[in-house]
Structure 1
Protein backbone atom coordinates (compact mmCIF):
# COMPACT_ATOMS: atom_id res chain seq x y z
CA UNK A 1 0.00 0.00 0.00
CA UNK A 2 2.84 2.39 0.86
CA UNK A 3 4.41 1.86 -2.56
CA UNK A 4 1.12 2.53 -4.34
CA UNK A 5 0.63 5.75 -2.35
CA UNK A 6 4.14 6.87 -3.28
CA UNK A 7 3.48 6.05 -6.93
CA UNK A 8 0.20 7.98 -6.89
CA UNK A 9 1.92 10.96 -5.25
CA UNK A 10 4.71 10.76 -7.83
CA UNK A 11 2.13 10.95 -10.62
CA UNK A 12 0.58 14.04 -9.04
CA UNK A 13 3.98 15.69 -8.65
CA UNK A 14 5.21 14.92 -12.17
CA UNK A 15 2.00 16.24 -13.66
CA UNK A 16 2.19 19.45 -11.62
CA UNK A 17 5.92 19.91 -12.28
CA UNK A 18 6.03 19.39 -16.04
CA UNK A 19 2.49 20.02 -17.31
CA UNK A 20 1.69 22.98 -15.07
CA UNK A 21 4.56 24.85 -13.41
CA UNK A 22 7.37 24.32 -15.94
CA UNK A 23 5.01 24.55 -18.92
CA UNK A 24 3.51 27.85 -17.74
CA UNK A 25 6.93 29.30 -16.91
CA UNK A 26 8.21 28.54 -20.42
CA UNK A 27 5.06 30.00 -22.02
CA UNK A 28 5.20 33.14 -19.86
CA UNK A 29 8.89 34.09 -19.81
CA UNK A 30 10.30 32.17 -22.76
CA UNK A 31 11.94 28.80 -23.40
CA UNK A 32 15.44 29.75 -22.23
CA UNK A 33 14.50 31.62 -19.06
CA UNK A 34 11.83 29.10 -18.14
CA UNK A 35 14.28 26.22 -18.41
CA UNK A 36 16.98 28.12 -16.52
CA UNK A 37 14.61 28.69 -13.61
CA UNK A 38 13.43 25.06 -13.73
CA UNK A 39 16.94 23.60 -13.61
CA UNK A 40 17.96 26.14 -10.97
CA UNK A 41 15.29 24.50 -8.79
CA UNK A 42 16.63 21.04 -9.65
CA UNK A 43 20.20 22.04 -8.73
CA UNK A 44 19.07 23.81 -5.54
CA UNK A 45 17.27 20.75 -4.20
CA UNK A 46 19.99 18.36 -5.41
CA UNK A 47 22.54 20.31 -3.35
CA UNK A 48 20.28 20.21 -0.29
CA UNK A 49 19.64 16.47 -0.74
CA UNK A 50 23.39 15.85 -0.95
CA UNK A 51 23.88 17.09 2.62
CA UNK A 52 20.86 15.36 4.16
CA UNK A 53 21.23 11.85 5.61
CA UNK A 54 18.92 9.31 4.01
CA UNK A 55 16.10 8.07 6.25
CA UNK A 56 16.77 4.44 7.08
CA UNK A 57 15.16 1.72 9.12
CA UNK A 58 18.39 -0.26 9.14
CA UNK A 59 19.20 0.10 12.85
CA UNK A 60 15.92 -1.58 13.77
CA UNK A 61 16.53 -4.69 11.71
CA UNK A 62 20.18 -4.79 12.81
CA UNK A 63 19.10 -4.63 16.41
CA UNK A 64 16.62 -7.45 15.99
CA UNK A 65 19.15 -9.68 14.24
CA UNK A 66 21.73 -9.05 16.95
CA UNK A 67 19.21 -9.93 19.59
CA UNK A 68 18.30 -13.16 17.82
CA UNK A 69 21.89 -14.21 17.25
CA UNK A 70 23.04 -13.32 20.72
CA UNK A 71 25.63 -10.85 19.45
CA UNK A 72 24.29 -8.08 21.66
CA UNK A 73 24.26 -10.13 24.87
CA UNK A 74 24.23 -8.27 28.17
CA UNK A 75 22.27 -5.30 29.43
CA UNK A 76 25.14 -2.86 28.88
CA UNK A 77 25.46 -3.85 25.24
CA UNK A 78 21.70 -3.55 24.74
CA UNK A 79 21.65 -0.09 26.35
CA UNK A 80 24.53 1.02 24.16
CA UNK A 81 22.75 -0.24 21.08
CA UNK A 82 19.53 1.50 22.07
CA UNK A 83 21.47 4.77 22.41
CA UNK A 84 22.93 4.26 18.95
CA UNK A 85 19.50 3.61 17.47
CA UNK A 86 18.07 6.67 19.26
CA UNK A 87 20.91 8.79 17.87
CA UNK A 88 20.13 7.41 14.42
CA UNK A 89 16.49 8.43 14.84
CA UNK A 90 17.46 11.94 15.95
CA UNK A 91 19.83 12.37 12.99
CA UNK A 92 17.07 11.16 10.66
CA UNK A 93 14.65 13.66 12.23
CA UNK A 94 17.12 16.52 11.70
CA UNK A 95 17.70 15.46 8.10
CA UNK A 96 13.99 15.21 7.36
CA UNK A 97 13.40 18.62 8.97
CA UNK A 98 15.96 20.17 6.61
CA UNK A 99 14.36 18.24 3.78
CA UNK A 100 10.83 19.41 4.65
CA UNK A 101 11.67 23.11 4.89
CA UNK A 102 12.00 23.76 1.12
CA UNK A 103 8.95 21.56 0.52
CA UNK A 104 6.91 23.98 2.63
CA UNK A 105 8.28 26.86 0.58
CA UNK A 106 7.27 25.03 -2.61
CA UNK A 107 3.70 24.53 -1.38
CA UNK A 108 3.42 28.24 -0.57
CA UNK A 109 4.69 29.32 -3.99
CA UNK A 110 2.44 26.77 -5.68
CA UNK A 111 -0.54 28.19 -3.77
CA UNK A 112 0.36 31.66 -5.06
CA UNK A 113 -0.17 30.23 -8.54
CA UNK A 114 -3.60 28.96 -7.55
CA UNK A 115 -5.42 26.97 -4.89
CA UNK A 116 -5.70 23.94 -7.18
CA UNK A 117 -1.92 23.72 -7.62
CA UNK A 118 -1.25 24.36 -3.93
CA UNK A 119 -3.73 21.73 -2.72
CA UNK A 120 -2.42 19.08 -5.10
CA UNK A 121 1.17 19.80 -4.10
CA UNK A 122 0.20 19.59 -0.44
CA UNK A 123 -1.59 16.26 -1.02
CA UNK A 124 1.35 14.75 -2.90
CA UNK A 125 3.88 15.88 -0.30
CA UNK A 126 1.65 14.65 2.54
CA UNK A 127 1.61 11.15 1.00
CA UNK A 128 5.38 11.37 0.56
CA UNK A 129 5.82 12.30 4.23
CA UNK A 130 4.24 9.09 5.56
CA UNK A 131 7.36 6.89 5.23
CA UNK A 132 9.53 9.76 6.47
CA UNK A 133 7.51 9.94 9.69
CA UNK A 134 7.81 6.17 10.08
CA UNK A 135 11.59 6.40 9.53
CA UNK A 136 11.83 8.82 12.47
CA UNK A 137 9.31 7.16 14.79
CA UNK A 138 10.47 3.52 14.60
CA UNK A 139 14.07 3.94 15.84
CA UNK A 140 12.92 6.34 18.59
CA UNK A 141 10.24 3.87 19.72
CA UNK A 142 12.74 0.99 19.67
CA UNK A 143 15.22 2.96 21.78
CA UNK A 144 12.80 4.51 24.29
CA UNK A 145 9.83 2.07 24.20
CA UNK A 146 7.68 5.21 24.34
CA UNK A 147 5.00 5.81 21.73
CA UNK A 148 4.73 9.41 22.90
CA UNK A 149 8.45 10.12 22.34
CA UNK A 150 8.28 8.52 18.89
CA UNK A 151 5.18 10.52 17.98
CA UNK A 152 6.64 13.75 19.36
CA UNK A 153 9.92 13.57 17.43
CA UNK A 154 8.21 12.52 14.19
CA UNK A 155 5.75 15.42 14.56
CA UNK A 156 8.50 17.94 15.32
CA UNK A 157 10.42 16.89 12.20
CA UNK A 158 7.27 17.46 10.14
CA UNK A 159 6.71 20.96 11.57
CA UNK A 160 9.64 22.25 9.49
CA UNK A 161 7.28 22.24 6.51
CA UNK A 162 4.70 24.74 7.84
CA UNK A 163 7.64 26.72 9.25
CA UNK A 164 8.95 27.06 5.70
CA UNK A 165 5.51 28.32 4.63
CA UNK A 166 5.39 30.90 7.45
CA UNK A 167 8.88 32.24 6.77
CA UNK A 168 8.35 32.56 3.02
CA UNK A 169 4.90 34.12 3.54
CA UNK A 170 6.46 36.70 5.88
CA UNK A 171 9.37 37.51 3.57
CA UNK A 172 7.44 37.23 0.31
CA UNK A 173 7.19 40.66 -1.35
CA UNK A 174 3.66 41.66 -2.28
CA UNK A 175 4.80 43.58 -5.36
CA UNK A 176 6.67 40.80 -7.16
CA UNK A 177 6.97 41.18 -10.92
CA UNK A 178 5.05 38.58 -12.98
CA UNK A 179 8.29 37.42 -14.62
CA UNK A 180 10.01 36.71 -11.29
CA UNK A 181 6.88 34.98 -9.96
CA UNK A 182 6.66 32.70 -13.01
CA UNK A 183 10.39 32.00 -12.71
CA UNK A 184 10.03 31.04 -9.05
CA UNK A 185 7.14 28.75 -9.91
CA UNK A 186 9.30 27.17 -12.61
CA UNK A 187 11.94 26.57 -9.92
CA UNK A 188 9.29 24.93 -7.74
CA UNK A 189 8.61 22.62 -10.69
CA UNK A 190 12.30 21.72 -10.76
CA UNK A 191 12.34 21.05 -7.01
CA UNK A 192 9.27 18.83 -7.25
CA UNK A 193 10.60 16.96 -10.30
CA UNK A 194 13.87 16.17 -8.53
CA UNK A 195 12.07 15.10 -5.35
CA UNK A 196 9.82 12.79 -7.37
CA UNK A 197 12.53 11.12 -9.45
CA UNK A 198 15.10 10.96 -6.64
CA UNK A 199 12.88 9.76 -3.79
CA UNK A 200 9.26 8.97 -4.58
CA UNK A 201 9.69 6.71 -7.61
CA UNK A 202 12.50 4.56 -6.14
CA UNK A 203 10.44 4.12 -2.97
CA UNK A 204 7.35 3.18 -5.00
CA UNK A 205 9.36 0.62 -7.00
CA UNK A 206 10.84 -0.87 -3.81
CA UNK A 207 7.52 -1.30 -2.02
CA UNK A 208 5.04 -1.98 -4.83
CA UNK A 209 7.17 -3.39 -7.64
CA UNK A 210 7.77 -1.72 -10.98
CA UNK A 211 4.50 -2.70 -12.71
CA UNK A 212 2.19 -1.70 -9.86
CA UNK A 213 4.15 1.49 -9.17
CA UNK A 214 3.96 2.61 -12.80
CA UNK A 215 0.18 2.02 -12.79
CA UNK A 216 -0.11 4.14 -9.64
CA UNK A 217 1.99 6.91 -11.25
CA UNK A 218 -0.33 7.11 -14.26
CA UNK A 219 -3.37 6.99 -11.98
CA UNK A 220 -1.96 10.02 -10.13
CA UNK A 221 -1.37 11.83 -13.42
CA UNK A 222 -4.91 11.01 -14.59
CA UNK A 223 -6.34 12.24 -11.29
CA UNK A 224 -4.45 15.52 -11.67
CA UNK A 225 -5.55 15.94 -15.30
CA UNK A 226 -9.20 15.36 -14.43
CA UNK A 227 -9.29 18.15 -11.87
Structure 2
Protein backbone atom coordinates (compact mmCIF):
# COMPACT_ATOMS: atom_id res chain seq x y z
CA UNK A 1 0.00 0.00 0.00
CA UNK A 2 2.83 2.37 0.88
CA UNK A 3 4.55 1.59 -2.43
CA UNK A 4 1.32 2.31 -4.30
CA UNK A 5 0.95 5.63 -2.49
CA UNK A 6 4.55 6.53 -3.30
CA UNK A 7 3.87 5.75 -6.96
CA UNK A 8 0.78 7.95 -6.90
CA UNK A 9 2.72 10.76 -5.24
CA UNK A 10 5.49 10.45 -7.83
CA UNK A 11 2.99 10.71 -10.69
CA UNK A 12 1.29 13.70 -9.09
CA UNK A 13 4.54 15.58 -8.50
CA UNK A 14 5.48 14.99 -12.13
CA UNK A 15 2.19 16.69 -12.98
CA UNK A 16 3.10 19.62 -10.76
CA UNK A 17 6.58 19.80 -12.25
CA UNK A 18 5.18 20.23 -15.76
CA UNK A 19 4.19 23.76 -14.76
CA UNK A 20 7.76 25.03 -14.96
CA UNK A 21 8.24 23.33 -18.33
CA UNK A 22 5.05 24.98 -19.61
CA UNK A 23 6.32 28.36 -18.40
CA UNK A 24 9.63 27.78 -20.16
CA UNK A 25 7.87 26.75 -23.36
CA UNK A 26 5.76 29.92 -23.25
CA UNK A 27 8.95 31.99 -23.25
CA UNK A 28 10.93 30.16 -25.92
CA UNK A 29 7.95 29.88 -28.28
CA UNK A 30 7.78 33.67 -28.49
CA UNK A 31 9.24 35.52 -31.48
CA UNK A 32 12.30 37.69 -30.88
CA UNK A 33 11.65 39.85 -27.83
CA UNK A 34 12.94 43.35 -27.20
CA UNK A 35 14.94 44.30 -24.13
CA UNK A 36 11.96 46.35 -22.96
CA UNK A 37 9.73 43.29 -23.15
CA UNK A 38 12.35 41.29 -21.29
CA UNK A 39 12.32 43.85 -18.49
CA UNK A 40 8.54 43.98 -18.37
CA UNK A 41 8.23 40.20 -18.16
CA UNK A 42 10.93 40.03 -15.50
CA UNK A 43 8.91 42.56 -13.52
CA UNK A 44 5.81 40.38 -13.91
CA UNK A 45 7.81 37.35 -12.76
CA UNK A 46 9.05 39.31 -9.73
CA UNK A 47 5.48 40.23 -8.81
CA UNK A 48 4.31 36.65 -9.22
CA UNK A 49 7.05 35.27 -7.00
CA UNK A 50 6.65 38.01 -4.39
CA UNK A 51 2.92 37.34 -4.19
CA UNK A 52 3.51 33.60 -3.74
CA UNK A 53 5.81 34.45 -0.86
CA UNK A 54 3.80 37.01 1.10
CA UNK A 55 0.24 35.99 0.18
CA UNK A 56 0.54 32.21 0.27
CA UNK A 57 3.61 30.63 1.83
CA UNK A 58 4.14 32.98 4.78
CA UNK A 59 0.46 33.32 5.82
CA UNK A 60 0.01 29.55 5.63
CA UNK A 61 3.00 29.04 7.87
CA UNK A 62 1.85 31.70 10.34
CA UNK A 63 -1.50 29.99 10.67
CA UNK A 64 0.14 26.62 11.28
CA UNK A 65 3.17 27.38 13.47
CA UNK A 66 2.56 30.91 14.73
CA UNK A 67 3.62 34.41 13.76
CA UNK A 68 7.02 34.39 15.43
CA UNK A 69 8.18 30.98 14.24
CA UNK A 70 6.95 31.56 10.68
CA UNK A 71 8.68 34.92 10.41
CA UNK A 72 11.89 33.49 11.87
CA UNK A 73 11.89 30.78 9.20
CA UNK A 74 11.09 33.35 6.53
CA UNK A 75 14.11 35.49 7.38
CA UNK A 76 16.32 32.44 7.75
CA UNK A 77 15.37 31.74 4.13
CA UNK A 78 16.31 35.31 3.17
CA UNK A 79 19.68 35.05 4.92
CA UNK A 80 20.37 31.60 3.50
CA UNK A 81 19.86 32.65 -0.06
CA UNK A 82 21.80 35.86 0.41
CA UNK A 83 24.75 33.64 1.36
CA UNK A 84 24.09 31.42 -1.68
CA UNK A 85 24.28 34.45 -3.99
CA UNK A 86 27.57 35.52 -2.43
CA UNK A 87 29.04 32.01 -2.53
CA UNK A 88 28.13 31.10 -6.13
CA UNK A 89 30.56 32.72 -8.62
CA UNK A 90 29.22 34.31 -11.77
CA UNK A 91 29.48 31.98 -14.77
CA UNK A 92 31.88 32.77 -17.60
CA UNK A 93 30.59 33.27 -21.12
CA UNK A 94 34.03 33.69 -22.73
CA UNK A 95 33.98 32.68 -26.35
CA UNK A 96 30.21 33.08 -26.64
CA UNK A 97 29.87 36.86 -26.65
CA UNK A 98 32.16 39.28 -28.46
CA UNK A 99 30.29 42.59 -28.14
CA UNK A 100 31.61 45.59 -26.24
CA UNK A 101 30.77 45.64 -22.50
CA UNK A 102 29.24 49.11 -22.68
CA UNK A 103 26.07 48.07 -24.52
CA UNK A 104 23.10 45.82 -23.92
CA UNK A 105 23.86 42.41 -25.28
CA UNK A 106 27.48 42.77 -24.14
CA UNK A 107 29.48 40.08 -22.40
CA UNK A 108 29.01 41.77 -19.03
CA UNK A 109 25.27 42.27 -19.48
CA UNK A 110 24.59 38.75 -20.69
CA UNK A 111 26.69 37.29 -17.89
CA UNK A 112 24.58 39.18 -15.35
CA UNK A 113 21.34 38.04 -16.98
CA UNK A 114 22.47 34.41 -17.15
CA UNK A 115 23.56 34.54 -13.51
CA UNK A 116 20.11 35.86 -12.62
CA UNK A 117 18.51 32.92 -14.43
CA UNK A 118 20.75 30.34 -12.79
CA UNK A 119 20.19 31.78 -9.32
CA UNK A 120 16.45 31.88 -9.95
CA UNK A 121 16.52 28.26 -11.13
CA UNK A 122 18.34 27.23 -7.95
CA UNK A 123 15.85 29.10 -5.78
CA UNK A 124 12.88 27.57 -7.56
CA UNK A 125 14.47 24.12 -7.25
CA UNK A 126 14.68 24.70 -3.48
CA UNK A 127 11.09 25.93 -3.61
CA UNK A 128 9.89 22.86 -5.46
CA UNK A 129 11.52 20.31 -3.17
CA UNK A 130 9.34 21.06 -0.11
CA UNK A 131 6.33 21.32 -2.42
CA UNK A 132 7.11 17.77 -3.55
CA UNK A 133 7.30 16.75 0.11
CA UNK A 134 3.87 18.34 0.65
CA UNK A 135 2.36 16.37 -2.25
CA UNK A 136 3.93 13.19 -0.86
CA UNK A 137 2.39 13.73 2.58
CA UNK A 138 -0.99 14.65 1.11
CA UNK A 139 -0.92 11.52 -1.09
CA UNK A 140 -0.17 9.35 1.92
CA UNK A 141 -3.43 10.60 3.46
CA UNK A 142 -5.59 10.70 0.30
CA UNK A 143 -4.95 10.40 -3.43
CA UNK A 144 -7.65 13.01 -4.05
CA UNK A 145 -5.97 15.43 -1.67
CA UNK A 146 -2.61 14.81 -3.33
CA UNK A 147 -4.14 15.42 -6.76
CA UNK A 148 -5.71 18.69 -5.63
CA UNK A 149 -2.42 19.93 -4.24
CA UNK A 150 -0.52 18.85 -7.38
CA UNK A 151 -2.89 20.85 -9.61
CA UNK A 152 -2.48 23.93 -7.42
CA UNK A 153 1.31 23.60 -7.52
CA UNK A 154 1.29 23.18 -11.30
CA UNK A 155 -0.57 26.49 -11.60
CA UNK A 156 2.04 28.15 -9.40
CA UNK A 157 4.93 26.65 -11.33
CA UNK A 158 4.05 28.21 -14.71
CA UNK A 159 5.24 31.72 -13.74
CA UNK A 160 8.26 30.18 -12.07
CA UNK A 161 9.22 28.52 -15.35
CA UNK A 162 8.92 31.91 -17.03
CA UNK A 163 11.20 33.46 -14.39
CA UNK A 164 13.89 30.85 -15.13
CA UNK A 165 13.64 30.62 -18.93
CA UNK A 166 13.58 34.36 -19.68
CA UNK A 167 17.11 35.32 -18.55
CA UNK A 168 18.68 32.05 -19.74
CA UNK A 169 17.14 32.47 -23.20
CA UNK A 170 18.27 36.08 -23.51
CA UNK A 171 21.79 35.37 -22.23
CA UNK A 172 22.51 32.27 -24.31
CA UNK A 173 20.33 33.03 -27.36
CA UNK A 174 19.26 29.38 -27.13
CA UNK A 175 15.59 28.50 -26.87
CA UNK A 176 16.52 24.97 -25.85
CA UNK A 177 18.69 26.17 -22.95
CA UNK A 178 15.87 28.36 -21.65
CA UNK A 179 13.36 25.51 -21.81
CA UNK A 180 15.85 22.99 -20.36
CA UNK A 181 16.63 25.00 -17.24
CA UNK A 182 12.94 25.72 -16.64
CA UNK A 183 12.01 22.06 -17.00
CA UNK A 184 14.87 20.76 -14.86
CA UNK A 185 14.11 23.19 -12.03
CA UNK A 186 10.70 21.53 -11.64
CA UNK A 187 12.13 18.04 -11.31
CA UNK A 188 12.96 18.67 -7.66
CA UNK A 189 9.36 17.75 -6.86
CA UNK A 190 9.56 14.13 -8.09
CA UNK A 191 13.01 13.93 -6.50
CA UNK A 192 11.45 14.90 -3.18
CA UNK A 193 9.07 11.96 -3.44
CA UNK A 194 11.96 9.59 -4.11
CA UNK A 195 13.82 10.93 -1.08
CA UNK A 196 10.77 10.81 1.17
CA UNK A 197 9.51 7.44 -0.04
CA UNK A 198 12.81 5.56 -0.14
CA UNK A 199 15.12 7.24 2.37
CA UNK A 200 12.65 8.70 4.87
CA UNK A 201 9.57 6.47 4.69
CA UNK A 202 8.05 7.95 7.86
CA UNK A 203 5.78 10.98 7.88
CA UNK A 204 7.23 14.42 8.49
CA UNK A 205 5.49 16.76 10.88
CA UNK A 206 3.09 19.14 9.10
CA UNK A 207 4.58 21.93 11.20
CA UNK A 208 8.04 21.12 9.84
CA UNK A 209 6.70 21.32 6.28
CA UNK A 210 5.15 24.71 7.02
CA UNK A 211 8.42 25.92 8.51
CA UNK A 212 10.23 24.82 5.35
CA UNK A 213 7.71 26.61 3.15
CA UNK A 214 8.09 29.80 5.22
CA UNK A 215 11.83 29.64 4.56
CA UNK A 216 11.11 29.13 0.87
CA UNK A 217 8.92 32.26 1.02
CA UNK A 218 11.97 34.18 2.20
CA UNK A 219 13.98 32.82 -0.71
CA UNK A 220 11.28 33.86 -3.18
CA UNK A 221 11.12 37.37 -1.72
CA UNK A 222 14.91 37.70 -1.87
CA UNK A 223 14.94 36.57 -5.50
CA UNK A 224 12.30 39.13 -6.40
CA UNK A 225 14.06 42.08 -4.78
CA UNK A 226 17.67 41.13 -5.49
CA UNK A 227 17.57 39.54 -8.94
CA UNK A 228 14.38 40.19 -10.90
CA UNK A 229 13.34 43.72 -9.93
CA UNK A 230 16.71 45.40 -10.59
CA UNK A 231 16.85 43.87 -14.08
CA UNK A 232 13.23 44.84 -14.73
CA UNK A 233 13.96 48.48 -13.84
CA UNK A 234 17.16 48.45 -15.90
CA UNK A 235 15.59 47.03 -19.05
CA UNK A 236 12.03 48.35 -19.03
CA UNK A 237 12.36 51.61 -17.11
CA UNK A 238 10.86 52.69 -13.81
CA UNK A 239 7.18 53.11 -14.71
CA UNK A 240 6.74 50.02 -16.92
CA UNK A 241 8.69 47.88 -14.45
CA UNK A 242 6.64 49.11 -11.51
CA UNK A 243 3.43 48.41 -13.42
CA UNK A 244 4.75 44.96 -14.34
CA UNK A 245 5.50 44.05 -10.71
CA UNK A 246 2.00 44.99 -9.58
CA UNK A 247 0.49 43.22 -12.58
CA UNK A 248 2.35 40.05 -11.61
CA UNK A 249 1.13 40.37 -8.04
CA UNK A 250 -2.45 40.90 -9.21
CA UNK A 251 -2.32 37.88 -11.51
CA UNK A 252 -1.00 35.65 -8.74
CA UNK A 253 -3.59 37.04 -6.30
CA UNK A 254 -6.30 36.04 -8.76
CA UNK A 255 -4.65 32.65 -9.18
CA UNK A 256 -4.60 32.08 -5.42
CA UNK A 257 -8.24 33.13 -5.13
CA UNK A 258 -9.24 30.78 -7.94
CA UNK A 259 -7.35 27.86 -6.43
CA UNK A 260 -8.61 28.50 -2.90
CA UNK A 261 -12.22 29.55 -3.39
CA UNK A 262 -13.43 28.36 -6.78
CA UNK A 263 -11.54 25.11 -7.23
CA UNK A 264 -11.39 24.24 -3.53
CA UNK A 265 -7.68 23.37 -3.72
CA UNK A 266 -6.47 25.39 -0.74
CA UNK A 267 -3.11 24.24 0.58
* Same-fold status (TM-score > 0.5): yes
Q: Distance in 2 between matches of 1:219 and 1:155?
A: 24
- State the 1:183 CA deviation: 0.5
Report matched runs for 1:64-103 at 5 Å: 64-65=99-100, 100-103=121-124
- State the 1:153 CA deviation: 5.6
1:100-144: per-residue Cα shift (whole Å, max 9, x none)? 244223124346373465234412221212333235524xxxxxx
Larger displacement relative to structure 2 (183-192 or 39-48): 39-48
Q: Distance in 2 between matches of 1:100 and 1:15?
A: 18
Tell me if 1:129 matches 2:164: yes
Q: Distance in 1 between matches of 2:60 and 2:121?
A: 25
**Structure 1 equivalent of residue 222 of structure 2:** 194
Summarize the Cα distance change of 1:221–1:159 in structure 2 as closer, same or farther, 3 Å threshold: closer
Query: Retained in 1: the 8 A contact 2:46–2:245?
Result: yes
Q: Which has the higher helix share?
A: 1
State the aligned residue count. 192
**Structure 2 equivalent of residue 81 of structure 1:** none
**Structure 2 equivalent of residue 161 of structure 1:** 185
Correspondence for 2:195 among 171, 183, 197: 171
Summarize the Cα distance change of 1:208–1:195 in structure 2 as closer, same or farther, 3 Å threshold: same
Summarize the Cα distance change of 1:195–1:116 in structure 2 as closer, same or farther, 3 Å threshold: farther
**Structure 1 equivalent of residue 16 of structure 2:** none
1:171-212: per-residue Cα shift (whole Å, max 9, x none)? 235611111011011111111111111111111111111111
**Structure 2 equivalent of residue 42 of structure 1:** 78
**Structure 1 equivalent of residue 241 of structure 2:** 213
Task: Give the gaps of 5 or more residues in structure 1.
Answer: 67-84, 139-149
Query: Retained in 2: the 8 A contact 1:204–1:213?
Result: yes
- State the 1:21 CA deviation: 0.6
Relative to the length of structure 1, the TM-score reads 0.69
Task: Give the gaps of 5 or more residues in structure 2.
Answer: 1-36, 102-106, 136-148, 259-267
Tell me if 1:224 matches 2:252: yes
Q: Distance in 2 between matches of 1:217 and 1:96?
A: 18
Summarize the Cα distance change of 1:4–1:170 in structure 2 as closer, same or farther, 3 Å threshold: same
Query: Retained in 1: the 8 A contact 2:117–2:163?
Result: no
Query: Retained in 1: the 8 A contact 2:78–2:219?
Result: yes
Q: Secondary structure at the match of 1:64?
A: coil
- State the 1:11 CA deviation: 1.2
Summarize the Cα distance change of 1:5–1:98 in structure 2 as closer, same or farther, 3 Å threshold: closer
